[in-house]
């Protein structure tokens, strides 16, 4: 089989934050491959490493964070080997990002126009009136009315949904190959959420860029994504197509996530089932499976050893000892007794 | 904006009136009088002097006389400097204090803002620690101590700088240092904490994600936001520096308004006290209006009403 070209090719990435309390192992052997124009959803709870994974594609880690193992490749660049100065040329041009909170992500003391034009000037040859024209086009593209007037306004004069549209306009200024959307709708009203998601799908069709959608909202990923990575404690615990994840979930955490979505079509009154317990402390990562302490089907081996990868049809894989049961039943029955 | 300025001018007039009234009566409640310190004053001579300046009349008459004079722009005659009007004295003394204070302000901003920013960028490192120690010392050391220390080193020991007056540019050096030490340290501390705050803001991350260089993200995105608390502080600072420091003017023998004001109070030079107080009140209000306007220009979220 010939080597396929990927837009994003992360292999066994390990990333740690070095804090005064010690090394926080935020990512532990994360591998992701994504083709051009694909939409990947990364799902997980706070601190699972979903944002860190995506940010590392543009070399945008906090000061004390460092890739300590593996490789990160994006659009032919080895991100983990690049210097800050080289990364700057890629950021905003080949890969862009929109953040969770549009209220605070725009600089309050500069006009919207200024902040869009800044991106255009940084990465293109356009100058003067051309820059202004492009900025106006971008605002039209993201569905903002009266673009000429908006360019002269300050962020505080716009609503939340409008500001997120401006953020998207900034991100698309140089037609990036990849757009990272870090919980782009979390801070918005539900009605506005739908509008923004619709806009993103629309733009994807028009511009054909790849999107990484970081979210803890399974509803968002279901409607938008081709593939989904479920992350827990700095690892991908399950990966597959959207159908795989929703109809054939293999990992206990994924199943738990799906159980905690409200279902409206069920006739019977049904309680939501929360996942009990707290996320792991990555300062002292567990020896075994990160989810084991919260898992209903936890076995002795889960606490002692990291589960290997189990592959299913196509891209679908998961890391869980339960899936290895058959392999093990043959000779190591003792280790599989439930605790 | 014009409406705002008109409103502030009107408020300034009301404030000036209140300040004048309050000062007038409080001043007269303090025991003592302008002619008590003079040698061999016979009761007749004192009575004659008081009659000449109208001090023998009842207080409310004196008040009305003064206020009507004030309405005509007349600050009256100094009781101590015979033959000179209060207006003359203020107009010769104020520029001296204002020039010195203005230079000190520029120096304070020129050093305070970059030092504070540098400390913030190097948070927790040696540079930061050194700057924090120095700025704390700058706030803690009183100006009479820093001026005497400066004088001891540069005049007594090294014989480099003149210790008295403001005859040549060199003679500005020590009073400016002594005067700007506190505000420079204070601005550095303000700047450090507000820069740290700004650096953690989401829009700084946005700037980084856009591929903005470090230099531009500091000067374009961070500075304008971080400088806002400093601008707020500049209002009262400008007023206090430009109206003269009694201590610094006394130590360096500078003929400024600060020492004149305190001198007027101790010698009960009533018209001089009144004139200076009203002048300072109006000046302080004016400086605050200027700062408010600057603030609104730097921060578009502020609307002046």
Residues 6+ apart with CB under 8 A from B54: B62, B65
Q: Is residue A1's pLDDT more than 60?
A: no
Residues A46-51, mean pLDDT to the nearest whole number: 87
Report which of B179, B157, B160 is spatially closest to residue B251, judged by C-alpha positions.
Answer: B179
Locate tokens 């360019």: which residue?
Answer: A151
Q: Which of A10-19, A174-183, A195-204, A273-282 has the lowest mean pLDDT?
A: A273-282
B254 confidence band (pLDDT: 50, 70, 90)? confident
Q: What is the pLDDT of residue A2?
A: 46
Compute the mean pLDDT over every residue in chain A, rounded to the nearest whole number.
Answer: 87
Whether residues A108 and B209 touch (CB distance < 8 A) is answered with no
d(CA A101, CA A97): 12
Contact status of A51 with chain B (Cβ, < 8 Å)? no
Quick: pLDDT tens for A138-163: 999 888 989 999 999 999 999 988 99
Nearest partner of A42 among A293, A259, A218, A252, judged by Cα = A218
Which of B203, B210, B225 lies at the smallest CB-CB distance from A91? B210
Residue of B nearest to A89 (CA): B211
Mutate to test the interface with B, among A60, A97, A107 (most CBs of B within 10 A): A107
What is the CB-side half-sphere exposure of residue B112 using CA atoms within 13 A?
31
Contact A72, A55 (CB under 8 A): no
In the CATH scheme, what architecture does the domain B89-270 have? Answer: Orthogonal Bundle (1.10)
Asked if A108 lies within 8 A of B202 by C-beta distance, the reply is no
The residue written with tokens 């430009």 in the block is B242
**Which residue stretches of chain B are H helix?**
2-29, 43-52, 59-71, 86-121, 126-140, 143-151, 170-199, 202-209, 214-216, 223-226, 228-242, 246-251, 257-266, 270-298
Q: pLDDT per residue over A110-125, tens digit each?
A: 999 999 999 999 998 8
∠ Cα B198 B204 B207 (to 5°): 155
Q: How far apart are alpha carbons B294 and B273 in whole angstroms?
A: 32
On the question of pLDDT at A106 being above 90, the answer is yes
Q: What residue of A is the nearest CA neighbor of B299?
A: A109
Cβ burial, residue A89 (10 Å; 0-12/13-18/19+): middle
- Has residue A333 got a pLDDT over 60? no
B285-304 pLDDT, tens digit each:
888 888 888 888 888 888 77
0.95 cut: is pTM over it? no
Query: Who has greater pLDDT, A253 or A270?
Result: A253
| Chain A: residue whose CA lies nearest to B210 | A92
Q: Decide if A215 contacts A183 (C-beta within 8 A).
A: yes
Where do the domains of chain B lie? Answer: 89-270
pLDDT in tens, A175-234: 899 999 998 888 888 888 888 888 888 888 888 899 999 988 888 888 889 999 999 989
Report how far residue B283's alpha carbon sits from residue B291's, in angstroms, rounded to the nearest whole number. 12
CB B117 within 8 A of CB B195: yes
Predicted local confidence at residue B209, as pLDDT = 92
Tens digits of residue pLDDT in B96-108 = 888 999 999 999 9
Q: Please give the pLDDT value at position B7.
A: 86
Q: Which residues of B touch A98 (CB under 8 A)?
A: none
pLDDT at site A192: 85
Cα separations (Å) of A18 from A51, A66, A67, A93? 17, 8, 11, 29
Average pLDDT over residues B76-99: 84
Q: Looking at residue B104, what is its pLDDT?
A: 94
Residue A170 CA to residue B213 CA, distance in Å, equals 16
pLDDT tier at B127, thresholds 50, 70, 90: very high
Percentage with pLDDT > 90 across chain B: 30
């Amino acid at each position: 089989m010939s080597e396929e070209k990927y837009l994003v090719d992360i292999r066994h990435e390990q990333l740690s934050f070095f804090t005064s309390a010690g090394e926080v192992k935020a990512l532990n052997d994360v591998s992701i491959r994504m083709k051009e124009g694909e939409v990947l959803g990364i799902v997980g709870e706070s601190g699972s490493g979903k944002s860190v994974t995506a940010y590392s594609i543009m070399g945008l880690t906090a000061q004390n964070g460092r890739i300590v193992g593996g490789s990160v490749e994006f659009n032919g660049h080895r991100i983990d080997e690049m210097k800050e100065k080289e990364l700057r040329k890629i950021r905003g041009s080949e890969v862009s990002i929109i953040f969770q909170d549009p209220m605070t992500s725009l600089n309050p003391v500069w006009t919207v126009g200024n902040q869009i034009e800044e991106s255009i000037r940084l990465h293109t040859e356009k100058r003067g009136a051309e820059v202004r024209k492009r900025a106006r086009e971008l605002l039209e593209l993201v569905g903002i009315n009266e673009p000429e007037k908006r360019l002269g306004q300050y962020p505080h004069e716009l609503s939340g949904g409008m500001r997120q549209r401006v953020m998207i306009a900034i991100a698309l200024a140089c037609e990036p190959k990849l757009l990272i959307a870090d919980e782009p709708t979390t801070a918005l009203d539900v009605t506005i959420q739908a509008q923004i998601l619709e806009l993103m799908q629309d733009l994807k069709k028009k511009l054909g860029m790849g999107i990484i959608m970081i979210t803890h909202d399974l509803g968002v990923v279901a409607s938008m994504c081709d593939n989904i990575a479920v992350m827990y404690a700095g690892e991908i615990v399950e990966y597959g197509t959207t159908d795989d994840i929703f109809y054939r979930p293999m990992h206990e955490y994924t199943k738990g996530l799906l159980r905690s979505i409200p279902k409206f079509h069920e006739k019977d009154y049904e309680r939501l089932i929360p996942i009990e317990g707290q996320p792991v402390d990555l300062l002292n990562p567990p020896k075994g499976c990160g989810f084991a302490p919260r898992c209903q089907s936890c076995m002795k081996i889960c606490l002692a050893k990291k589960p290997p990868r189990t592959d299913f049809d196509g891209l679908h894989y998961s890391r869980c000892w339960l899936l290895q049961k058959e392999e093990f039943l043959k000779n190591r029955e003792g280790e599989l007794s439930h605790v | 904006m014009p409406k705002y300025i008109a409103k502030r001018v009107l408020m300034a007039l009301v404030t000036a009136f209140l300040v004048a009234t309050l000062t007038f009566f409080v001043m007269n409640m303090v025991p003592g009088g302008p002619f008590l310190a003079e040698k061999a004053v016979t009761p007749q001579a004192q009575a004659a002097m008081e009659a000449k300046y109208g001090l023998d009349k009842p207080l409310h008459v004196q008040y009305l006389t003064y206020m009507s004079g004030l309405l005509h722009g007349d600050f009256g005659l100094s009781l101590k400097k015979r033959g000179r009007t209060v207006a003359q004295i203020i107009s010769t003394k104020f520029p001296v204090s204002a020039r010195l204070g203005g230079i000190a302000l520029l120096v304070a901003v020129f050093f305070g803002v970059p030092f504070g920013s540098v400390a913030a960028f190097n948070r927790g490192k040696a540079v930061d620690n050194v700057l924090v120690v120095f700025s704390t010392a700058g706030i803690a050391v009183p100006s009479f101590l820093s001026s005497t220390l400066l004088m001891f080193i540069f005049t007594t020991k090294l014989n480099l700088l003149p210790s008295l007056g403001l005859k040549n540019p060199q003679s500005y050096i020590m009073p400016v240092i002594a005067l700007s030490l506190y505000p420079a340290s204070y601005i550095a501390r303000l700047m450090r904490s507000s820069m740290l705050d700004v650096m953690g803001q989401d829009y700084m991350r946005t700037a980084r994600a856009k591929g903005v260089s470090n230099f531009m993200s500091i000067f374009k995105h961070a500075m304008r936001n971080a400088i806002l608390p400093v601008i707020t502080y500049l209002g009262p600072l400008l007023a206090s520096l430009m109206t003269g420091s009694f201590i610094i003017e006394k130590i360096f023998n500078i003929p400024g308004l600060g020492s004149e004001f305190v001198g007027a109070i101790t010698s009960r030079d009533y018209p001089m006290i009144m004139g200076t107080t009203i002048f300072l009140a109006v000046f302080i209000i004016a400086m605050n209006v200027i700062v408010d306007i600057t603030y609104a220009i730097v921060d578009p979220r502020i609307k002046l009403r």
